[in-house]
Amino acid sequence: MDDEFKELQTLLRLKKYEQPSQGFDLYGERFLKEFHRRQRWEASRKMGFASVWEKLSGWLDDFTVPRYAYAAALAVFGAVALGINDLKPVESANLAVAVAAPAPVMVSQSRPALALNSPLDLSELEIQSQLTAGSQAGNSSLQPRYILDSRPASYDASFSF
Amino acid sequence: MFFRSISTLCLAVVAFPGGPMLRAEENVLSSMTEAVQAVFENTKASIVKIRSSDKHGRCVGSGFFVDPNGTIYTTYAVAGESDNITVEMGDRRYDAKRLVADPRSGVVLLKVDAKTPFLPIGKTAELSIASPVVAIGYPMDLPVTPTLGFIGGFDLKYLDRYFTTTHIRANVSVQRGESGAPLINTRGEVVGILISGLDGGSACYALPIEAAEKIRSDYVRYGEVRHGWIGITVRETTEKQAGSVAVIDELSERTPAAHSGIQKDDVLVRIGTVPVTKPEDVLNGSYFLTAGEDVSVGVVRGGENLTFTVPATEHPFSAKAREVKALTKTDFGENLSLTSGN
């Protein structure tokens, strides 16, 4: 035992004169930088939900609430949820009525011009058709068109018979 | 006693100068109300709402029965190119079949399998400007509704565009959904079919019932509409002869007119029973021609009245309508125009 103690004293005396090797300061700085970098990486990895959850869990561990308080909060949450569900069908019904209601649809049903004695202008016919289609785009499936032409069938008359 | 009554009346007039006038106006309005109510009550059962559908969606218009077998008049815009046609009479609903759709006149004939009330046919010739008429139709999604108005005129053109035949212009306020509604005189007879609104619906144009009856007559006799044509073109001249400024300008080749004996520069005075005094009158004469039937044409040549009988052939409009149908390749299940549906 005494021998071991003497050896240890000798070793400590030797350590007293021991100096860090050349470049040790540089190594220490690098070590410190690497340490900080890994610390930041770990912190960023825990950002978001996990971090919040971790903090919340820690806070809850420290926060003691009676059980009836949890039950009351659950009851309030349930009541609010049921209230929202009851409101939703009313809003939907109103919307359905609004859509199904026969809102006025102005329809231009003017006919293509038909000359008595000249070729039909089919391009005009197509344009008229497109205009009608365009005016109804998007709402034709629900709203009927209440028909009233803007003018009778007419001609570029050539006074032929 | 008599003088006392007169004195009392004079005193009343002096004391209440507006009284008799107001009472007279009230009487007139009351009489008008009763007349319109009577027409409405007697005819509303014959007037129907028509629903159909086409590639753009659902269509709603009006129509009316013209015979007890369920034949209905409506317009081409309501049921000319649509399908799934149904007819509503009050709370009853029937599927309807399209018999004829004629874009030239704008008239469509439908048929439901039912015994129905119907409107009697009146005479447009008995109407004059300011004659009262009632339009009865289904505006928008509302119940059958009467609207009182007056005849405003008889027009052959509007904004420089000519109609197929003379139309009745009625100062009757109309709304969307009333296309195909009947125009009814004070006797409850139909005198026109409401074809279009005018100036935003403050007035309307109606096809005279005689023009619609030409379509129904063609269908009854031939199973199709047969617009006639003889191949004559008319121009206006400055010199009036026999009361007419319409002269024959051209006789088209390979038409009945080319071999009829009628000559260029003859003065046209009559087509069938329709007198001609100006080129526009040709439209009315032409409208009532029927392919396959003879038409008498009255002309004046060198001061002599001549009458020629010409067989009418198919109107170019019919061929063009078929051409349109072929090119547009409609798939409505029935013919586009001028022919019977089945």
How many folded domains does chain B comprise?
2
Higher pLDDT, B146 or B253: B146
Pair of tokens at residue A161: 């018979």
Query: Pairing between strand B228-229 and B182-184?
Result: unpaired
The answer to the question of residue B7 being in a domain is no
Backbone phi, psi, residue A74, to 5° = -65, -40
Q: What is the pLDDT of residues A29-39, one digit of tens each?
A: 888 889 998 98
- The answer on B73 and B201 residing in a single domain is yes
How many CB atoms sit inside 10 A of residue B295's CB?
25
pLDDT band at A13 (very low <50, low <70, confident <90, very high): confident
- The answer to whether B169 touches B203, Cβ cutoff 8 Å, is yes
The C-alpha of B333 sits at a distance from chain A's nearest C-alpha, in angstroms, of: 19
Pair of tokens at residue B217: 């007559």
- The answer on B171 and B87 residing in a single domain is yes
Mean pLDDT value across chain B: 88
DSSP string computed for A95-136? HHHHHHS--------PPPP--TTS---HHHHHHHHHHHHHHH
A139, A144, A157 ranked by CB distance to B162: nearest:
A157
The answer to the question of residue B55 being in a domain is yes
Q: For tokens 């439908």, name the residue.
A: B110
- The answer on B260 and B176 residing in a single domain is no
Determine the pLDDT at residue A137: 40
**CATH number, position B93:** 2.40.10.120
Determine the pLDDT at residue B8: 55
Higher pLDDT, B201 or A51: B201
Query: Pairing between strand B57-65 and A145-146?
Result: parallel
Residue B189 reports pLDDT greater than 90:
yes
Determine the pLDDT at residue A120: 39
- The answer to whether B267 touches B279, Cβ cutoff 8 Å, is no
Question: Would an 8 Å CB–CB cutoff place B16 in contact with chain A?
Answer: no
Residue B125 reports pLDDT greater than 80:
yes
- The answer on B212 and B251 residing in a single domain is no
- The answer on B144 and B272 residing in a single domain is no
Average pLDDT over residues B184-204: 94
> Under an 8 A CB cutoff, do B328 and A125 touch?
yes
pLDDT band at A90 (very low <50, low <70, confident <90, very high): very low
The secondary structure of residue A17, as a DSSP letter, is T
- The answer on B275 and B217 residing in a single domain is no
Average pLDDT over residues B150-171: 94
Residue A59 reports pLDDT greater than 50:
yes
For residue B100, what are the domain limits?
Answer: 19-221
Pair of tokens at residue B42: 């007697």
- The answer on B296 and B204 residing in a single domain is no
Share of chain A above pLDDT 70, in %: 57
Provide ipTM, 2 decimals: 0.80
Q: Which residues contact A39 (CB under 8 A, 6 or more apart)?
A: none
* DSSP H helix total and E strand total for chain B: 6, 21
Average pLDDT over residues B305-326: 82
- The answer on B70 and B216 residing in a single domain is yes
Determine the pLDDT at residue B326: 66
> Under an 8 A CB cutoff, do B195 and A152 touch?
yes
- CB contacts, 8 Å: A102 with chain B: 140-141
A121 half-sphere exposure, CB direction, 13 A CA radius: 12
- CB contacts, 8 Å: A157 with chain B: 157, 162, 280, 283
Query: CA-CA distances (angstroms) from residue B50 to A2, B65, B72, B114, B181?
Result: 122, 12, 10, 15, 10
The secondary structure of residue A20, as a DSSP letter, is P
- The answer on B182 and B144 residing in a single domain is yes
Last residue of a domain, one of B195, B221, B247: B221
- The answer on B217 and B69 residing in a single domain is yes
- The answer on B97 and B184 residing in a single domain is yes
- CB contacts, 8 Å: B197 with chain A: 148-150
Most confident of A91-95, A152-156, B23-27, B241-245: B241-245
Q: How far is it, in rounded angstroms, from Cα B184 to Cα B161?
A: 26
pLDDT band at B14 (very low <50, low <70, confident <90, very high): low
pLDDT band at B178 (very low <50, low <70, confident <90, very high): very high
Q: Which residues contact B312 (CB under 8 A, 6 or more apart)?
A: B228, B229, B230, B256, B289, B290, B291, B292, B293, B294, B295
Residue A135 reports pLDDT greater than 50:
no
* Poorest-pLDDT segment among A121-130, B158-167, B223-232: A121-130
Q: Which long-range contacts (CB under 8 A, 24 or more apart) does B6-14 make?
A: none
Cα of A55 vs its chain's centroid, Å: 26
Q: For tokens 């129907």, name the residue.
A: B48
Higher pLDDT, B214 or A13: B214
The secondary structure of residue B310, as a DSSP letter, is E
Q: How far is it, in rounded angstroms, from Cα A123 to Cα A35?
A: 79
Determine the pLDDT at residue B59: 94
The C-alpha of B195 sits at a distance from chain A's nearest C-alpha, in angstroms, of: 6
Candidates B140, B175, B170, B181; CA nearest to B44 is: B181
The answer to the question of residue B1 being in a domain is no
Average pLDDT over residues A18-36: 83
* DSSP H helix total and E strand total for chain A: 5, 2
- The answer on B195 and B140 residing in a single domain is yes
Candidates B81, B12, B30, B59; CA nearest to B331 is: B81
Q: How far is it, in rounded angstroms, from Cα B270 to Cα B56?
A: 44
Q: Which residues contact A159 (CB under 8 A, 6 or more apart)?
A: A116, B233, B234, B235, B246, B279, B280, B282, B283
Query: CA-CA distances (angstroms) from residue B239 to A147, B86, B245, B302, B307?
Result: 46, 55, 6, 13, 21
Determine the pLDDT at residue A25: 79
